[in-house]
Every structure is written in C-alpha cells, then in structure tokens.
Amino acid sequence: MEHDQDITLTVNGSMVSRRVAPRQHLVDFLRDDLGLTGSHAGCEHGVCGACTVRVNGDIVRGCLMLAVQANGCKVETIEGLSDSKEIAVLQKAFHEKNALQCGFCTPGMLMAAQDLVRAKKKVTREEIRTHISGNYCRCTGYQSIVDAIEEVVNG
C-alpha cells in the first residue's frame, strides 16, 4: 500500500483523480475503479486486443499500460466514443453485417477500426486485415468484420 500513487487524468472528457497501486493496469482501473466495463480484459498480455483504448489520441493495449502511466493523459474508451456518436456509423455497419456474435472482441475491434475511418483514405481488404491483426475474434471468422469496416471506410 505504501507504493500507491495519486493520478489525475481525463477519461471520456471528465477529469478523474484517484489513488492507485502501481501494479494495476489501465484496463482494470477503468473497469474496477471507474465502472467502465466496455473495455474488456482477455489475455492480459497484449495478444487479444479486447482491452484496446485510446490514450492521447492513439490506440493502445489497456493491459500493457499501467494506470500510473496514464497520469496526465487523455483516455478515451468505447463508452466515450459511443456516447459522442463518433463511431455510430461503424456500430450500425457492424450490426447490419453481423460483425459481432458474443461481442467480447467488439469494443476493441471498433476502436481499431475507427483508426482506419479517421485516416480518411481508401483501403484494401488486406490492409483492413493487417490493421485489425492485433484483435482476436473467436466467433465471426472476421469476414463480416472486414465487410463492415470496408463499407464504412470505402463508402
């Protein structure tokens, strides 16, 4: 307990101050301390992508960043992107194309996909697959996910 540190960060636009143990990673902090359970904890060693969140505008693994490292940062989670409607078009496309089944991978998948949407340039299906290569889906077989992303990115 002696090692605990005070951190202040912005989460989905709101300023948050908490005391955290250095060993707590960001996704556990978001889920357990802030109740933002949209970011999922799967493998907890960087392989599955379920924990993907945005820090200072870039997607990162929430399980490979400590909460203390997020001190002073701007963190955005799936709840933020969803509430602001930033990903409304992607969400609709995922729904329509059946790009989710159990939904475990979906928040991370949407986070990674939104990166491509924000880049505002046309992409091939191969490039979509490369970009989401760090996000595992155990249900869909990816085809429908690529369909949904392709529709939104390429119009």
Partner 1 sequence: MKAPAFAYAKPASLAEAFELLQNPNAKILAGGQSLIPALNMRLSSPDLLVDITGIPGLTGISVQGSFIKVGALTTHAQLETSETIRKHVPLLAQAVPHVAHAAIRNRGTLGGSLALADPAAEYPAVALALEAVFEIKNKTSERRVDASKFFKGLFETDLQPGEMLTAVEFPIARPADKSVFLELARRHGDYAIIGLAAHNGRFAFLGAGDRPVLFSFGKNLEKAKEALKTGLKPPADLYNSSATKLHLAGVLLERAWNTIRT
Ligand X SMILES: Cc1cc2nc3c(=O)[nH]c(=O)nc-3n(C[C@H](O)[C@H](O)[C@H](O)COP(=O)(O)OP(=O)(O)OC[C@H]3O[C@@H](n4cnc5c(N)ncnc54)[C@H](O)[C@@H]3O)c2cc1C
Min CB(99)–ligand X separation in Å: 23
Residue 47 engages ligand X in binding (rule: CB under 6 A): yes
Min CB(143)–ligand FES separation in Å: 12
Min CB(15)–ligand FES separation in Å: 25
Tell me which residues in 63-122 interact with ligand FES (CB under 6 A): 63, 100-106
SS3 state at 75? strand
Query: CA 31 → CA 25, 28, 67, 78, 140, distances in Å?
Result: 10, 5, 11, 12, 25
Residue 46 engages ligand X in binding (rule: CB under 6 A): yes
Cα separation, 95 vs 18, whole angstroms: 36
**Residue 101 binds which entry of ligand X, ligand FES, partner 1, none, CB below 5-8 Å type-dependent:** ligand FES
